[in-house]
Amino acid sequence: MQIEWRLRKVMASRDIWSATELRELLMQRVGFEISLQSVSDLVKKQPVQVKMATLQALCTTLQCTPNELFGIDTPRDVSLVEPDDAKSRDET
């Protein structure tokens, strides 16, 4: 499974084009203080982790849900049967 961080896409859909602009909106709309470097990192690359407070501030500011910020790509060949279950059925 792959998880895609879609912050840049969500920002673009709301005509927000820079980390500076997003940082200002975070302050204005929800009073959330975050460094410009941290916002820039969130915009430019997929984070390893996102604090709940940051996620809430982003969703409130951008008027979106976490589902819009995260895209999940699941493999198509995923089996719903556990390997051990398949083996035990073959033996019966």
Is 7 exposed, middle or buried (CB count within 10 Å of its CB: 0-12, 13-18, 19+)?
buried
The topology under which CATH files domain 2-68 is: 434 Repressor (Amino-terminal Domain) (1.10.260)
In this prediction the pTM is 0.77
Q: What is the pLDDT of residues 26-77, one digit of tens each?
A: 999 999 999 999 999 999 999 999 999 999 999 999 999 999 999 988 777 6
DSSP reduced 3-state for 42: helix
What are the residue ranges spanned by the domains of the chain?
Answer: 2-68
Nearest to 42 by CA among 65, 14, 69, 76: 69
